[in-house]
Structure 1
Amino acid sequence: MTTTATQATDPDGIVYEAEIVDDDERLLPAAPAGAPARYRITRHTILTDGELPPRADEEPPFTNKDIYVPPSVKKRITERGARNTRVNRDSTRTRFEQWCVKERRIAQPTTTTANVAAYFGHLMETGKPDGSKYSPDSLLAYCSRIVSWYPKGERPDASLVREMIEDYRLEEYIPAGGEKEQSAGLTLKYLVKVLAKIDETTRIGRRDAAMLVLQYGMLYRSIEVTNLLVKQVRVDTDGVWVWTAKSKTRRNGKGRWRFIRDRADLRIVARVRAWLADLRELREPTEHDQNPTDGEPAYLPTKPLFRALTTKGNLKRRKNATVRGLFLTGRAVNEMVQARAAAAGVALINGLKVTSHSLRAGPNTDMAEALVPLSERNTAGDWHADSTLADDIYNRPDGTIDTSRDDPLDAVPLWGDFEGQAAATGTQKSRSEPIS
């Protein structure tokens, strides 16, 4: 219950006229009595002859109940969407707001097209803190996050900013050498070399080998392989069944099982079985014991399939891992893949870096060269049914890049004094001479 009060003047002082009302039924402020009629007209108002727009004072009698939600619901609203999406969205908006404050411009509760255009002009001209240029695709993502911050009908003109970004792409970014960085395709030709260098007599080696073959077989992104639960992998006699709850392109769709057939070069069944056997032996560490015999098992249906390990092969304590908890991060997987590739001498393939995304491009490239139809590869990689990314972006055949080390300029003699120096040191090579 609350008490509302109004003041009334009196010769002897102030008299309060109080009224007790129920909190749950308290009405929102209404228009003053006798005020002239006001109408609500927006860009979406449609009228015909004889019609009047809706009156602004004819709003429903909303009470507190109609606009208040429990704290738990407010938290769900605030934290809606994937965590990475929220973090990126909020950081982009914060940077824009901070820049507006510094430039004495207004960012909230509304802003202008000029403010947004000036901000993106600033990003294009100054670049990143490390001196490199912002990629046009990053700027387009920033634009979407900032513009969608405002209610519909009050948003800045995003089309103008997008045109600025496309001009920047053509006139500044590309001429300056900007290009989209791609990961190499870790095809079977190279993956078997990586696997051969892993010491699978160790628990860490068995975990990494199982993760690599599963990620290759499922065309997984790094975060998708880390999100796997124990119950979502089932070993059969001739292959492995894997359940994907959701993916980047199928966020709201139903989960699905997919079968990966065992093969002699990957030995998926043996490697997954070996890691599951390790997981059954592991217990959650305590402050004084890394693998207590009576501790909580790591092999439980709703626990992560892949875990962080110590150098001795026990589970790492995740006391400070407040973001991912027991789950590995995508960055950890990427670092593992890069380290394993480097150990096998394939850190670079055709001039491109091997990353965790190479285990998505690699199997797609292998299937494309085996003439697997695009529709089947889209299903395997969880791309949209009508997507052409598997052909346009994720196909990395060796023949697309000149990997020979022969330079036709080798046939041209050195000019000037350098010719004598080359003859003395033997550095000049003919075209017919094999290059070491």
Structure 2
Amino acid sequence: MSGAEIVDAELVEPGELMPAPPTAAGRPLVDQHTVLFPGQDLPTAADRPQYSKRDLDVSDETAARLQDTDPTGTGPMVAFTAWCAQHGRIPVPCTTATYTDYAQHLMARGLKVSTIKNYMSLIKTAMPAGKKPDNSLYLRLLANYRKNNKRALRVRRAFPITLPYLIPMMEKAEADNRPIGWRDAAMLAFGYRFLARSVEEVNLDIEDLTVMDDRIVVWLLEDKTHNNDQTLILHDHPDLDMVKRMRRWLEHLAAQGITAGPLFRHLQKDGTVAVGHRERVATVRGEYLRPQTVNDRVKYWFSMAGLVSDGRPVSSHGLRAGAATDLGMNDATDQEIAEAGRWRPDSTIPRLVYVRPAQAAKRDPFARVPRVGVGPAEEG
């Protein structure tokens, strides 16, 4: 035995047998969080449930629902998957290196910081649980990008579609007295008064509305800042004629036997509702309009009415911005605007984005400066 190396050994008393190593089934399953009550034995692998295939199956209905809400079907994930294919990388689940490299690809394109953050968040969300990439390296890249690309920090807010712009848009939509114009005019008036995010507007059902003579009562299940349901009272305004326009649209639907389901729907050229319509791009929407459709219609009627913005982009969000701006220009308080637009009570958006700019637009300190060569009495 001299010179032999003892790798592992345990001393035992003469005649005592070595304990047999635990089998896989009998191996204790414990960690620092295990708690045993008096009389309980150590849990082992043998105590685990023995699952069968039946425990792992989901129904056809569940599978269909999950497929419709598959996060890998979002636009950013589609682009990410195509980029991965082009570079010989696996998109799902992706590695941290792939995730980080794609972030650099987006930055090389000069995208806005807010856009990059949104895309990267959606991509990470789409990864399976427990297999999400580490975003610490991507955030280091983003911090450097923010520092060296000031223009990428600029947020281009939507052009506010205030009443002076909204009224000619609605009138233009109704000029030909066609159902699509009735739908769009109702959608424009309601979107402005509802201060709607377009996805909230197109997700509403007919049953969510109670149309009265001077107001519309809306039951809203949830929104971006509220997980609880809300009952909202939208008083009409003489320039909106929201009630009249909404009733005309609902009567058009009722004439075709539609009194429940999606409020705003696709129409065929003859004005009939396209029942069962499924769009090429967003098939999961079914008979509900896509938010992008509202966006497209807002741009269309803004252009058709011969309106021109101040350089800010025209979009469906302009209805929400326009209503908030009108409130700000007419001395509504921060709280009143926050409640109307369903912002969080502590949100700074109403004051910074709508109230201050609206009030600043009403003031011109240079109006006090007299014209050269013209006395105060002559300015009239």
Q: TM-score, normalised by structure 1?
A: 0.64
Pairwise CA distance, 1:215 = 0.6
- Please name the residue that 1:352 is paired with: 312
Within 2, Cα distance between the matches of 1:253 and 1:88?
28
Find 2:254's aligned residue among 280, 285, 294.
280
Residue 78 of structure 2 is aligned to residue 91 of structure 1: yes
Q: Are the aligned partners of 1:136 and 1:166 in contact in 2 as well (CA < 8 Å)? A: no
Query: Does residue 232 of structure 1 match 2:208?
Result: yes
The answer on whether the counterparts of 1:37 and 1:55 sit within 8 Å (CA) in structure 2 is no
Structure 1's 310 and 159: CA in aligned 2 closer, same or farther, altered over 3 A? Answer: same
Q: Deviations over 1:132-169 (max 9, x none)?
A: x22222222333344453655x7544233213112112
8 Å CA contact 1:92–1:142 kept in 2: the answer is no
Q: How is 1:35-434 mapped onto 2 (pairs within 5 angstroms)?
A: 45=32, 58=45, 60-65=47-52, 68-72=56-60, 75=63, 78-79=66-67, 87-88=74-75, 90-91=77-78, 94-95=81-82, 97-98=84-85, 102=88, 111-112=95-96, 114-125=97-108, 127=109, 133-148=110-125, 149=127, 151=129, 156-172=133-149, 174-175=150-151, 179-199=154-174, 201-250=177-226, 252-254=227-229, 256-281=230-255, 283=256, 297-298=257-258, 300-301=259-260, 303-321=261-279, 322-346=283-307, 348-393=308-353, 397=358
- Cα distance in 1 for partners of 2:333, 2:72 equals 32
Number of the residue aligned with 2:37: none
Partners of 2:328 and 2:354 within 8 A in 1: no
| Gap change, CA 1:364 and 1:319, over 3 Å in 2 | closer
Equivalent residue letter for 1:213: A
- What SS does structure 2 have at the residue aligned with 1:64? coil
Q: 1:379-420 CA distances to partner (integer Å, 9 max, x unpaired)? A: 2222223222233345663955999xxxxxxxxxxxxxxxxx
Question: Contact (CA 8 Å) 2:30, 2:42: kept in 1 or not?
Answer: yes
Q: How many residues align?
A: 331
Identity percentage of aligned residues:
28
Gaps of 5+ in 2: 1-20, 35-40, 365-380
**What is the SS of the residue equivalent to 1:353?**
coil
Cα deviations by residue, 1:217-238 (Å, 9 ceiling, x for unpaired): 1011222222222222222122
2:38 paired with 1:33: no
Contact 1:93/1:145 (CA < 8 Å) preserved in 2?
Answer: no
Counterpart-to-counterpart distance in 1, 2:172 and 2:111: 38
- Superposition deviation, residue 259 in structure 1: 1.5
Partner AA of 1:116 in structure 2: Y
1:147-204 Cα offsets, whole Å, 9 max, x none, are 453655x7544233213112112213x25x7733321000112212222333353322
- Taking the aligned partners of 1:390 and 1:343, their CA distance within structure 2 comes to 30
**Distance change in 2, residues 1:268/1:119 (3 Å):** closer
Deviation larger for 259-268 or 71-80: 71-80
Which structure has more helix as a fraction of its residues?
2
- The answer (yes or no) to whether the contact 1:307–1:328 under 8 Å persists in 2 is yes
- Asked which structure has the greater RCO (Cα within 8 Å, sep 6+), the reply is 2
Matches of 1:280 and 1:77 in 2, distance apart?
A: 29
Deviates more, 1:209-218 or 1:239-248: 239-248
Larger deviation, residues 56-65 vs 337-346? 56-65
2-structure distance, mates of 1:263, 1:35 = 73
Counterpart for residue 421 of structure 1: none
Q: State the 1:38 CA deviation.
A: 8.4
Check 1:143–1:375 CA distance in 2 against 1; reply closer, same or farther (3 A cut): same
User: Contact 1:92–1:146 (CA<8 Å) still a contact in 2?
Assistant: no
Deviations 1:341-384 (A, max 9, x none): 112222x3222232111001011111122232223322222222
What is the DSSP-based 3-state SS (H/G/I as helix, E as strand, rest coil) of the residue aligned with 1:102? coil
Moved more, 71-80 or 161-170: 71-80
Q: Distance in 2 between matches of 1:274 and 1:122?
A: 50
In 2: Cα distance, 1:85 partner to 1:388 partner: 33
What does residue 9 of structure 2 align with? none
* Structure richer in strand, relative to its length: 1
Structure 1 gaps, min length 5? 1-30, 48-53, 128-132, 284-296, 404-436
- State the Cα distance separating 1:266 from its structure 2 match: 1.0
Pair 1:102–1:36, CA change in 2 (3 A): same
